[in-house]
Amino acid sequence: MGALFLLAFVVYIPGNALTGAAADQMRTSAGALLMLVNSVAVAGIGVLMFPVLKRHHELSAHAYLVSRVVEAVMLAVGIVFLLLLIPLARDISLSPSLAAVLRQGNLYAYQIAMVSLGLGSLLFCRVLFRAKLVPGFMAVWGAVGYAVFAVGAILEILGYGVGTALSVPGGLFEVGLGVLLTVKGFPAESEEAEAEKARALPVLPG
């Protein structure tokens, strides 16, 4: 599960860089494919987190799953906008104006995805804190980071260019959480695994 957090972070940044600076079909397509892997990863995070969160708060589990699916879908919509730049590049007379529209469409799709992620993840961090699935300071860090993230995305949609600075705390939290889950997993998962092992042991006659 932690690997998906890290995978999403690792593939989206170079994918976005390739499409942003791409001047040919191969680079644009390669960047789009990397970003598509990110969409699959974030949807997978929602699916795998669902049973973990449901044990502690069912409404938050559903909300987080929906937020991750919306994020994945909107990011995929943004990828379509970027892929449309490929055939558009063949018609030089239309390229400047329509290319700008397509890139703006990708930007809006991304910001909507980030609003969904930020709001849904507030409930996610609430469960992490109350159920003590991660250290308390980390859950608080995540909640603050996602709140700032959501506000930044909303401001971008409203036309206030705040840049990427507001996404840094939430992004670093996801990297930290990904490392933590890869190394240790959730405490509840470890306890349940031990219980399953105990039940599997044969009972010796007294």
Residue 92 resides in a domain: yes
The total of structural domains in the chain comes to 1
Residue 19 lies in a domain: yes
Chain centroid to Cα 30, Å, comes to: 20
186 pLDDT more than 70: yes
CA dihedral 75→119→151→175, nearest 10 degrees, is: -70
What is the arithmetic mean of pLDDT over 44-68? 95
Q: Is residue 124 part of a domain?
A: yes
pTM to 2 decimal places? 0.85
Domain that holds residue 163: 2-186
202 located within any domain: no
d(CA 64, CA 50): 8
What is the average pLDDT across 71-96?
81
More confident residue, 112 or 86: 112
Per-residue model confidence as pLDDT tens digits over 127-173: 999 999 999 999 999 999 999 989 999 999 998 877 677 788 888 99
What's residue 83's pLDDT? 87
Helix/strand/coil percentages in the chain, nearest 5: 85, 0, 15
Whether 132 maps to a domain, the answer reads yes
In a domain, residue 47? The reply is yes
Residues, the chain: 206
Average pLDDT, the chain: 85
In this structure, is residue 206 part of a structural domain? no
Distances (CA, A) of 187 to 41, 61, 69: 23, 18, 26
Distance CA 46, CA 109 (A): 19
